[in-house]
Amino acid sequence: MKKADIDKILKKYDYKKSSLISILQDLQVINRWLPQETLKYVSEKMDISLMDVYSLVTFYKSFSLKPRGKHIITACSGTACHVRGGPKVLSELENQLGITVGETTPDKNFTLETVRCLGACALGPLVVVDGKYYGQMNPKKVASTLKKYSKKK
């Protein structure tokens, strides 16, 4: 990430320490993750200890310290989704993508994550891709759903 891009975001929030979460969110939107160099630079420019920056980043699950794919796939592992076949859907996602939960495909197109509950239990099993909900998911629907987000050859 370019220092000029970081500086632009820091200036947007007037370097306020109380805006650190918003700053990190904006930085992650640009890069899809938060590299160590970026966190060090923010720490120095905002006069916040690097340990405090890391404490914040590691506390919130929405921040990532490793590269993420272009498309974020989130599978619900809550009780309702689990009972309705969520584990089979997750297994098929892992099979189709060739990765396990927490990993990113080698082409950096997909990152697979799970979440305890998405709050839409009536739609379970539920998979979310880039914020779009796919309810009543089953293993047979996984391939067609992924195809919508696959890179054009």
Per domain, the residue ranges of the chain are 3-59, 71-147
Torsional class of 83: left (φ above 0), alpha (ψ -120 to 50), beta (otherwise): alpha
- Nearest-angstrom CA–CA distance, 5 and 26: 10
- State pLDDT tens for residues 93-152: 999 999 999 999 999 999 999 999 999 999 999 999 999 999 999 999 999 999 999 865
Tell the CATH topology of 71-147: Glutaredoxin (3.40.30)
- Nearest-angstrom CA–CA distance, 108 and 50: 28
- State pLDDT tens for residues 18-60: 999 999 999 999 988 999 999 999 999 999 999 999 999 999 9
- Nearest-angstrom CA–CA distance, 35 and 25: 13
Helical axes 50-59 vs 20-31, angle rounded to 10°: 70
Supply the pTM of this predicted model: 0.79
- Bond prior to 139 in cis (omega within 30° of 0): no
